[in-house]
Amino acid sequence: MKTKLMAFAASAALCGALFVTVSAHAENSFTFGSLTFDLDTGALTKCDTSASGNISIPAKIKGVAITSIGDNAFNACANVTGITMPDSVTSIGSCAFSDCSSLTSMAIPDGVTSIGRSAFFGCSGLTSVAIPDGVTSIGDYAFHKCSSLTSVAIPDGVTSIGDHAFYYCSSLTSVTIPDGVTSIGDYTFYLCSRLKSVTIPDGVTSIGDSAFRYCSRLTSVTIPDSVTSIGDWAFCDCSRLTSIYFNGSGSQWSSVAKGLNWNGNAKVYVNGLTTGSTYSTSTFADNSFDDGGATGFLAELAAGSSPYTLGNVTWTVLSGDDAKSTAPLSYGDITVTDASLVIGLTVTGLYDPDAMAAASYEMTSTGYVEYTE
């Protein structure tokens, strides 16, 4: 009960105050069915809360093109199950569809460039939403408590995702954040309890307070080396999060500003190998190859002075004419010596182990080592 009251209070605080402003607006208004329009601005300003079923918004009213969905326009239209907007719409206001609890899907017109604050706040029945490529910003609380939303494709043009944008989207399983986004706001994915994976792009510089808190199914996260700050409780209470990978060096990681209790119990791994470096083989533990057969071996590779405990490494043959492979060499079990990395490699189509010993390999992906203070 307390949670419901808090949610109601939050909704009222975010959307209720705007309702008065909208109701008082529009001297040149026109009502068509359950919808009210401002003919001076081309905005749909109000849908009667008694409306139900599918609502189709006309492209024009009395010759005036409808270009925007006003603040609070469909607020608390709890029985509306679908809304069709015309292509003429370019703007969606704050709380435009808030608390439309029976709304299940939404196609946003291609001309829309921004999704307003709390636009879909509390749309608990919304399972899918198509965000067009033209959208560049998603406002604070935009999809707050859309608890049935299972996936969302954020277009590449989005550069800003607001605070609380996907707060308590408890059915959301995956999300890819576009490369243009530079910050992840406070509480953005808070309580997304089914979120299993998230891709944070290289351009992100800050991760806000409680951004991923209580994402209880998140098992690993990769943080780009562009990040310079991580907020309070950002990854706290993520009960299955065991590994956090940072794509920079240990010294870079130590300089990242980290907030109070930013991490729960996850281990942090930093980039321990340099992409593009070439290493030569030194010994083979197993040279058991047969003609034309696929087999495995262990190669000890010179790997610098760091003791590596985890790897994510793919090697490809650079030289050795007879060391023929039909696929890149992929790592298997990894063990550690004082100054080298021993990788269990799986290869296909190797014919000459002597040529293999003379070959060199290039790392094509990043390797990680556990970070210690």
Summarised one tens digit per residue, pLDDT across range 141-175 is 999 999 999 988 899 999 989 999 999 999 999 88
- If one compares 188 and 280, the residue with the highest pLDDT of the two is 188
- Whether 116 has a pLDDT exceeding 60, the answer reads yes
What pLDDT, on the 0 to 100 scale, is given for residue 16? 56
Average pLDDT over residues 332-352: 37
- Whether 298 has a pLDDT exceeding 70, the answer reads no
Cα separation, 252 vs 270, in Å, equals: 9
Q: Are 257 and 234 in contact (CB under 8 A)?
A: no
Q: Are 46 and 21 in contact (CB under 8 A)?
A: no
Q: 367 falls in which pLDDT band (50, 70, 90)? A: low
Strand partners, 201: none
What pLDDT, on the 0 to 100 scale, is given for residue 235? 97
What pLDDT, on the 0 to 100 scale, is given for residue 251? 83
- Whether 12 has a pLDDT exceeding 60, the answer reads no
- Whether 206 has a pLDDT exceeding 90, the answer reads yes
Residue with tokens 């919808």: 35
* Averaged confidence pLDDT in the chain: 76
- Whether 336 has a pLDDT exceeding 90, the answer reads no
Cα separation, 346 vs 324, in Å, equals: 13
- If one compares 275 and 55, the residue with the highest pLDDT of the two is 55
- If one compares 220 and 72, the residue with the highest pLDDT of the two is 72
Chain centre distance of CA 80: 29
- Whether 3 has a pLDDT exceeding 70, the answer reads no
What pLDDT, on the 0 to 100 scale, is given for residue 27? 65
- Whether 120 has a pLDDT exceeding 70, the answer reads yes
Class of the CATH domain delimited by 2-271: alpha beta
Average pLDDT over residues 171-186: 92
Cα separation, 235 vs 184, in Å, equals: 12
pLDDT in tens, 67-110: 999 999 999 999 999 999 999 999 999 999 999 999 998 999 99
What pLDDT, on the 0 to 100 scale, is given for residue 293? 30
- Whether 370 has a pLDDT exceeding 90, the answer reads no
The one-letter amino acid code at 344 reads G
Number of H helices, E strands in the chain: 4, 31
Domain boundaries, given as residue ranges, for the chain: 2-271, 278-370
What pLDDT, on the 0 to 100 scale, is given for residue 13? 52
- If one compares 363 and 86, the residue with the highest pLDDT of the two is 86
- Whether 352 has a pLDDT exceeding 80, the answer reads no
- In this predicted structure, which of 123-132, 172-181, 318-327, 363-372 has the lowest mean pLDDT? 318-327
What pLDDT, on the 0 to 100 scale, is given for residue 175? 86
Cα separation, 317 vs 281, in Å, equals: 11
Above pLDDT 90, what percent of the chain?
55
HSE (side-chain half, CA atoms, 13 Å) at 54:
7
Strand partners, 183: 206
Average pLDDT over residues 321-349: 36
